[in-house]
Amino acid sequence: MSRSPSLPERPRLDLDPDMSPNERLEALREHLEDVLEVNNQLETQLNRANSRREDLTGKVDRLERENDTLKSSSLYIATAEEMLDDGVVVKQHGNNQEVLTEVSPGIRQELEAGDRVAINDSFAVQSVLEPETDARAQAMQVDGSPEVTYDDIGGLETQIQEVREAVEQPLINADQFREVGIEPPSGVLLHGPPGTGKTMLAKAVANETDATFIKMAGSELVQKFIGEGARLVRDLFELASENEPAVIFIDEIDAIASKRTESKTSGDAEVQRTMMQLLSEMDGFDDRGEIRIIAATNRFDMLDRAILRPGRFDRLIEVPEPNVEGRVKILEIHTKGMNLADNVDLSALADDTDGFSGAELASLATEAGMFAIREERTEIHIEDFESALEKVKEEDDSAGTPIAFA
């Protein structure tokens, strides 16, 4: 603690009555100088004191704010799971602890099962929070009216037919299924190599049935915190029921439905819980109305067979690499709007692209267009396709072969 500086001594004026006027004047002048000097010193001290007072006021403000923050304790986030007569069951996020707690009548009125709430140390519900729309929006892709149609998909006639039966019919003719007395398949699983049109199929169904398309990647469902994945699954179905009719498309389902490994880490258990939540949401389908679910995987061999049981993903549709006729159709689709020269023979190109996926054929067409633009032409020649073919093959090679795990 700094002490207050001592005040300068007050100048004194001693005038001897015997002084001559000149001596008196001189003494007064000296006294004036002393007074001015003391005045200067006092002014400096006053300035210093003022600036110290400002510092201290700032410090007091800060301390008061800190004190307020320390006094108001933080609240925990939980989900209201069940509304009972004698309270509410809440589940705390993070540790999944479930407790039966009380709520004030005011809060109880606006609270519904599934709401996010803030709870204090004694688990009493303090407030109801807004739904986490941001987290949902980040993890899910929602498309009110996807533009893909069945005509945009080449070489998958059988698959289109099967998807229409399993997904489109139950959405359009729900009554017919009810009258016949059969349950439509709960979920459809599309499996096959990457880029073969699985997402397109799901989008096309949503388009044909005027349904909202909601896409989520399985990898997004593998979350760090306990209960988060399951919550996202609940959100996914909630979002779908808010947007009925809806097609839910879960890509990379293998991320949460792989065969269980030997290691039983907590991460595995969490992924398992997320999958169980998905299955239980699917079980509750009947009450949900017009929601259909399509999942996709490139790793069918990795899937836990439990998800393929009846009532779950019980309709399997293989989406293979296109054969030569399929490749011709895909090339026709992707070159439809292009200005092709007469020497471009799509059948010959299809012969040369054995093993190409639909996505690779689409990029072949775009690349050929890019070669024409480079040459400042608007017409695409067969040479452009040849150069593009080399480029796409090179890219494919440099991507390397996948590493096989034992």
185 binds ligand ATP (CB under 6 A): no
CB of 392 to ligand ATP, least distance (A): 13
- Which CB sits closer to ligand ATP, 78 or 319? 319
* Residue in the block written with tokens 């001592």: 6
In the three-class reduction of DSSP (H, G, I as helix; E, B as strand; rest coil), residue 104 is classed as: coil
Quick one: 170 or 197, whose CB is closer to ligand ATP?
197
Q: Which residues, in sequence order, are CB contacts of 296 under 8 Å at separation 6+? A: 189, 190, 191, 198, 199, 202, 249, 250, 251, 252, 253
CA distance 66 to 70: 6
- Binding residues for ligand ATP, total number by CB under 6 A: 19
Kindly state the DSSP code that residue 354 receives in the 8-state scheme.
Answer: T
| Choice between 115 and 252, CB closer to ligand ATP | 252
User: What are the percentages of helix, strand and coil residues in the chain, rounded to 5?
Assistant: 50, 15, 35
CA 190 – CA 159 distance, rounded (Å) = 9
Number of neighbours of residue 310 by Cβ within 10 angstroms: 9
User: Which stretch in 71-79, 105-113, 309-317, 358-366 sits in contact with ligand ATP by CB under 6 A?
Assistant: 358-366
- Positions in 41-100 near ligand ATP (CB under 6 A): none
Q: 132 by DSSP, 3-state: which?
A: coil
What is the largest distance, in Å, between two alpha-carbon atoms of the chain?
Answer: 135
Options 124-132, 138-146, 189-197, 389-397: segment touching ligand ATP (CB under 6 A): 189-197
The yes or no reply on residue 199 touching ligand ATP (CB under 6 A) is: yes
Which three-class secondary structure string do you get for 138-169?
HHEEEECCCCCCHHHCCCCHHHHHHHHHHHHH
Q: Of the candidates 83, 174, 226, 359, which one interacts with ligand ATP according to CB under 6 A? A: 359
Residue range at the interface with ligand ATP (CB under 6 A); choices 119-127, 153-161, 207-215, 218-226: 153-161
Does 187 help bind ligand ATP (rule: CB under 6 A)?
no
Residue 160 makes contact with ligand ATP by CB under 6 A: no
Q: Is 146 in the site for ligand ATP (CB under 6 A)?
A: no
User: 219 with 346: CB under 8 angstroms?
Assistant: no
Near ligand ATP by CB under 6 A, which window of 18-26, 65-73, 105-113, 193-201? 193-201
Do the beta carbons of residue 311 and residue 279 sit within 8 Å? Answer: no
Of 350, 236, 339, give the one whose Cα is nearest residue 295. 236
Selected binder of ligand ATP within 358, 371, 372, 392 (CB under 6 A)? 358
Residue with tokens 């079980």: 283
204: left (phi over 0), alpha (psi -120 to 50) or beta: alpha
State which of positions 219-278 bind ligand ATP (CB under 6 A): 251
Q: Which residue is nearest to ligand ATP (CB)?
A: 358
Minimum CB separation of residue 138 from ligand ATP in Å reads 19
- Chosen residue from 78, 117, 125, 153 binding ligand ATP by CB under 6 A: 153
Name the 3-class secondary structure at 11: coil
Q: How far is the CB of 214 from ligand ATP (least distance, A)?
A: 15
Of 155 and 227, the one with the shorter C-beta distance to ligand ATP is: 155
Instruction: Choose which of 80, 119, 206, 333 interacts with ligand ATP (CB under 6 A).
Output: 333
Regarding 346 and contact with ligand ATP (CB under 6 A), the answer is no
Binding ligand ATP (rule: CB under 6 A), the pick from 79, 188, 198, 365 is 198
Which one, of 296, 314, 176, lies nearest residue 248 by Cα? 296
The yes or no reply on residue 369 touching ligand ATP (CB under 6 A) is: no
Only one of the segments 120-128, 154-162, 282-290, 385-393 lies at the binding site for ligand ATP (rule: CB under 6 A); that segment is 154-162
Question: Do β-strands 76-84 and 116-119 pair in parallel, antiparallel, or remain unpaired?
Answer: antiparallel
Scan residues 289-328 and list those touching ligand ATP (CB under 6 A): 296, 298
State the nearest-atom distance from the C-beta of 75 to ligand ATP, in Å: 41
CB of 224 to ligand ATP, least distance (A): 24
Amino acid at site 303? L
Q: Which residues bind ligand ATP (CB under 6 A)?
A: 153-156, 194-200, 251, 296, 298, 330, 333, 358-359, 362
